[in-house]
């Protein structure tokens, strides 16, 4: 079992694993600690991660980025239109979901965003497996806090298609907060004032701020605010737009008429931006950008800052929102931790520092903090790992309401209820109570569509409650439904059951701890049927559990009481007793199992194909190397072990094989390369054997001397 955390970024993906009693970020096949979040398609195989980046410029039409921002979105969404500016392959509609059209294996193909993400995740899986030398099947992955139910479901599906189980989809800034808190030994106790930290993540495409309270062994997110369109790529774009104008004047070229030129300028702009984070000015040079024109110019940091001023003007907004929602002021914040590549920009640091009026902290590794937090979360959730207990209370960002058809038997019933409120704790379970005589349906949707990204459909799911009927006295069935906003931030109605009111005699509880804790808080749901408005209601499952617990405590009291031989005072109360299950049929934005299975099969076929192509390439390289090696050795260390005739024969064979490699052997199968290698070996074999025999006899002679 492996413990893996993945920061799936718009630009870069970072993988962390738990090992050697700690968490390490691992390197990929070219020894980079971050992998480009890109997939590309070629005539023979796919290019996933690094090779997609290497091929990008020559394969623009078949390279797809912005993967996570496409998942769960539709082509018509204005947000997706923005993404098209950053994705070089054409985006298309595939049954309501956005996807890309590419040429793969010589054919036009369309893949939806979920599939594209699953392709990339299968690469992540392979990278982690190769490093750990273990099959990897589980991980925790990060997402922006603003991701909605449908986006989260798309990522869960994508992971499953890639053969990965996500133990948790964790909000980016929450992951950073976990990585921060779990290593601290000096957090305040439960009675003390919590430590309040603002985590600010500015990446390639988005910016989030979470206000988090830490106490020993736990963190609670108090608020998260974000700007969904604010990140390094906006800086790059401002630079590209500026340079395009400059190059037009200076060199009379229009880079926007040439997609390759745009991508090359964008890459140079990103480099320039990074240099300007540490230097006051920097040059930019691109050879033969287009029409054989070389371009060169200089840029000052203050010029870049002027270009992105519209962006800089927005820096304070998420910070203000987060504080307001946490009901805190700047002065309440003890520490401001910055993560994400873009927080290296001096102008951003200045604005954030000025806003809070205090110094900033960079105690976390800016590029790796989120992946590390995810790996810690994975370790906590993994049954085979022991980690310091750390409770994570995240927060509901979008309120969720349930709606249902009015019961024909209850004319003045409400038909909607907001069950998960903004700012409430996530994950959480609510028990919904319905009084019904027949099967019924309910729907869940986001209660405030204006909070959602782009034009997201607020609909979350439809849930049909089966086996509901009136009892023998034509009374309502009391239906209880478990609605859960789970660890991933995904909503489900997980189960249903029905209860009956039974009258039981129970001892009158003495004023006990449990009562004191609840204080004066009267819970309207204790016996909803006594009030008989028959309104559907919801309650926290935790409270429910607490009540059950109390019930059990009470059941134990008579025993104790008997020992004292003192008959306890009792009272008759109505209790709800669970009588049976109610099956729920759910319809959500998740893929059907059959569709997932088909996609998984397709993914594994493509994976096999990629492997075969890679193996074939390896065999070809091996053959090529072998030919060169033999050619050198036959006139060198093997020279004395072959007669002239043998030498001539082998050299002829090598030459013929080399010619073959550049002609019909240029592009053939793995088996043919292996056969070719065997052919040469058949000729070279006896010579090589004599060489080794000689070495062996020398070694034996040497040993005999030593032993004598």
> 154-193 mask for ligand ATP (x: CB under 6 A)?
----------------------------------------
> Does 11 help bind ligand ATP (rule: CB under 6 A)?
yes
- Strand 491-507 to 570-581 pairing: antiparallel
Q: Shortest Cβ distance from residue 395 to ligand ATP (Å)?
A: 19
Which among ligand ATP, K ion, Mg ion, none contacts residue 345 (Cβ within 5 to 8 A by kind)?
A: ligand ATP
Q: Around 586, how many Cα atoms within 13 Å sit in the side-chain half-sphere?
A: 18
Binder of ligand ATP out of 18, 141, 290, 345 (CB under 6 A): 345
Query: Which residues, 6 or more positions from 264, have their beta carbon under 8 angstroms from its beta carbon?
Result: 57, 286, 289
Which among ligand ATP, K ion, Mg ion, none contacts residue 576 (Cβ within 5 to 8 A by kind)?
A: none
> Does 536 help bind ligand ATP (rule: CB under 6 A)?
no
Q: Shortest Cβ distance from residue 133 to ligand ATP (Å)?
A: 27
Q: Which is nearer to K ion, 160 or 172 (CB)?
A: 172
Which among Mg ion, K ion, ligand ATP, none contacts residue 231 (Cβ within 5 to 8 A by kind)?
A: ligand ATP
Instruction: Answer whether the bond into residue 101 is a cis peptide, omega within 30°.
Output: no
By beta-carbon distance, which residue lies closest to ligand ATP? 232
Count of CB atoms situated within 10 Å of the CB of 220: 17
Binder of ligand ATP out of 53, 233, 480, 620 (CB under 6 A): 233
User: Which helix (H) or strand (E) is 283 found in, with range?
Assistant: strand 281-290
Binder of ligand ATP out of 19, 274, 631, 653 (CB under 6 A): 274
Nearest to 231 by CA among 460, 66, 41: 66
Residue 513, classed as helix, strand or coil, is helix
> Does 12 help bind ligand ATP (rule: CB under 6 A)?
yes
Q: Which is nearer to Mg ion, 12 or 122 (CB)?
A: 12
Q: How far apart are CA 44 and CA 48, in angstroms?
A: 13
Q: How far apart are CA 51 and CA 40, in angstroms?
A: 8
Binder of ligand ATP out of 56, 131, 213, 270 (CB under 6 A): 270
> 276-295 mask for ligand ATP (x: CB under 6 A)?
-x------------------
Residues 180-239 that bind Mg ion (CB under 5 A): 203
- Asked whether the CA dihedral 600, 128, 174, 10 is positive or negative, the reply is negative
CB 219 within 8 A of CB 181: yes
> Does 10 help bind ligand ATP (rule: CB under 6 A)?
yes
Q: How far apart are CA 6 and CA 25, in angstroms?
A: 10
Which among ligand ATP, Mg ion, K ion, none contacts residue 233 (Cβ within 5 to 8 A by kind)?
A: ligand ATP
- Strand 428-436 to 537-540 pairing: antiparallel
Q: Which is nearer to Mg ion, 233 or 619 (CB)?
A: 233
> Does 73 help bind ligand ATP (rule: CB under 6 A)?
no
Residue 310, both tokens:
């519209």
3-state secondary structure 352-413: HHHHHCCCCECCCCCCCHHHHHHHHHHHHHCCCCCCCCCEEEEECCCCEEEEECCCCCCCCC
Binder of ligand ATP out of 222, 273, 619, 676 (CB under 6 A): 273
> Does 373 help bind Mg ion (rule: CB under 5 A)?
no
Q: Shortest Cβ distance from residue 604 to ligand ATP (Å)?
A: 27
Instruction: Sort 653 into a burial class: Cβ within 10 Å, 0-12 / 13-18 / 19+.
Output: middle
What residues does 337 pair with on adjacent strands?
199, 361
What residues does 538 pair with on adjacent strands?
432
Q: Shortest Cβ distance from residue 128 to ligand ATP (Å)?
A: 18
CB 207 within 8 A of CB 230: yes
Binder of Mg ion out of 2, 4, 9, 536 (CB under 5 A): 9
Q: Shortest Cβ distance from residue 178 to ligand ATP (Å)?
A: 17
Please give the residue ranges that form the binding site for ligand ATP (CB under 6 A): 9-12, 203-206, 231-233, 270, 273-274, 277, 340-342, 344-345, 367
Please give the residue ranges that form the binding site for Mg ion (CB under 5 A): 9, 203
């Amino acid at each position: 079992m492996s413990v893996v955390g993945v920061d799936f970024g718009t630009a870069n993906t970072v993988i962390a694993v738990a090992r050697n009693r700690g968490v390490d970020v691992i390197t990929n096949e070219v020894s980079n600690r971050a992998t480009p979040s890109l997939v590309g398609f070629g005539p023979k195989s796919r290019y996933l991660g690094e090779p997609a980046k290497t091929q990008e410029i020559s394969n623009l039409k078949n390279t797809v980025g912005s993967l996570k921002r496409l998942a769960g979105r539709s082509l018509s969404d204005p947000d997706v239109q923005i993404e098209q500016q950053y994705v070089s392959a054409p985006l298309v509609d595939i049954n309501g979901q956005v996807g890309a059209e590419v040429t793969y294996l010589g054919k036009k193909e369309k893949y939806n965003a979920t599939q594209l993400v699953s392709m990339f995740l299968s690469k992540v899986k392979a990278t982690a497996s190769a490093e750990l030398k273990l099959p990897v099947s589980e991980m925790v992955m990060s997402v922006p806090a603003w991701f909605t139910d449908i986006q989260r479901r798309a990522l869960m599906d994508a992971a499953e298609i890639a053969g990965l189980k996500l133990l948790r989809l964790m909000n980016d800034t929450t992951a950073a907060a976990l990585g921060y808190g779990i290593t601290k030994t000096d957090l305040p106790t439960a009675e003390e004032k919590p430590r309040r930290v603002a985590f600010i993540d500015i990446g390639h495409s988005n910016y989030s701020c979470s206000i988090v309270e830490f106490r020993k062994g736990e963190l609670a997110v108090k608020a998260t605010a974000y700007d969904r369109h604010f990140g390094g790529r906006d800086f790059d774009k401002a630079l590209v737009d500026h340079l395009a104008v400059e190059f037009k004047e200076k060199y009379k070229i229009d880079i926007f008429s040439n997609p390759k030129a745009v991508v090359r300028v964008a890459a140079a702009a990103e480099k320039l931006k990074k240099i300007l984070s540490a230097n006051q000015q920097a040059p930019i040079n691109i050879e033969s950008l287009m029409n054989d024109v070389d371009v060169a110019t200089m840029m000052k940091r203050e010029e870049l800052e002027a270009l992105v001023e519209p962006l800089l003007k927005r820096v304070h907004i998420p910070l203000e929102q987060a504080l307001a929602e946490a009901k805190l002021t700047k002065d309440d914040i003890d520490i401001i931790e910055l993560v994400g590549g873009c927080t290296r920009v001096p102008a951003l640091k200045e604005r954030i520092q000025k806003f809070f009026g205090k110094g900033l902290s960079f105690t976390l590794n800016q590029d790796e903090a989120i992946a590390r937090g995810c790996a810690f979360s994975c370790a906590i959730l993994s049954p085979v790992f022991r980690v310091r207990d750390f409770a994570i209370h995240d927060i509901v960002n979008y309120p969720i309401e349930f709606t249902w058809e009015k019961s024909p038997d209850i004319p003045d019933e409400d038909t909607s209820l907001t069950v998960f409120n903004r700012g409430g704790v996530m994950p959480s379970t609510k028990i919904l109570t319905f009084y019904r005589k027949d099967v019924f349906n309910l729907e869940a949707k986001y209660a405030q569509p204006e909070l959602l990204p782009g034009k997201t459909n607020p609909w979350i799911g439809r849930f049909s409650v089966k086996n509901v009927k009136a009892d023998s006295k034509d009374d309502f069935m009391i239906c209880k439904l478990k609605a859960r906003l789970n660890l991933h931030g995904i909503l489900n109605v997980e189960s249903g059951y029905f209860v009956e009111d039974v009258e039981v005699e129970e001892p009158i509880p003495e004023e006990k701890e449990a009562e004191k804790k609840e204080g004066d808080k009267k819970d309207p749901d204790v016996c909803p049927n006594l009030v008989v408005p028959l309104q559907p209601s919801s309650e926290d499952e935790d409270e429910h559990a607490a009540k059950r617990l109390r019930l059990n405590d009470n059941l134990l009291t008579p025993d104790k009481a008997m020992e004292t031989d003192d008959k306890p005072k009792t009272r008759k109360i109505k209790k709800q007793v669970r009588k049976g299950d109610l099956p729920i049929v759910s319809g959500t934005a998740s893929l059907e199992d059959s569709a997932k299975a088909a996609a998984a099969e397709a993914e594994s076929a493509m994976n096999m194909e990629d492997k075969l192509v890679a193996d074939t390439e390896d065999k070809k390289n091996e053959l090529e190397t072998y030919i060169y090696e033999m050619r050198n050795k036959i006139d060198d260390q093997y020279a004395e072990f072959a007669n002239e005739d043998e030498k001539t024969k082998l050299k002829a064979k090598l030459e013929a094989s080399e010619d073959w490699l550049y002609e019909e052997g240029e592009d053939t199968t793995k088996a043919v390369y292996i056969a070719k290698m065997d052919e040469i070996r058949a000729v070279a074999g006896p010579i090589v054997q004599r060489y080794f025999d000689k070495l062996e006899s020398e070694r034996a002679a040497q040993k005999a001397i030593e032993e004598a």
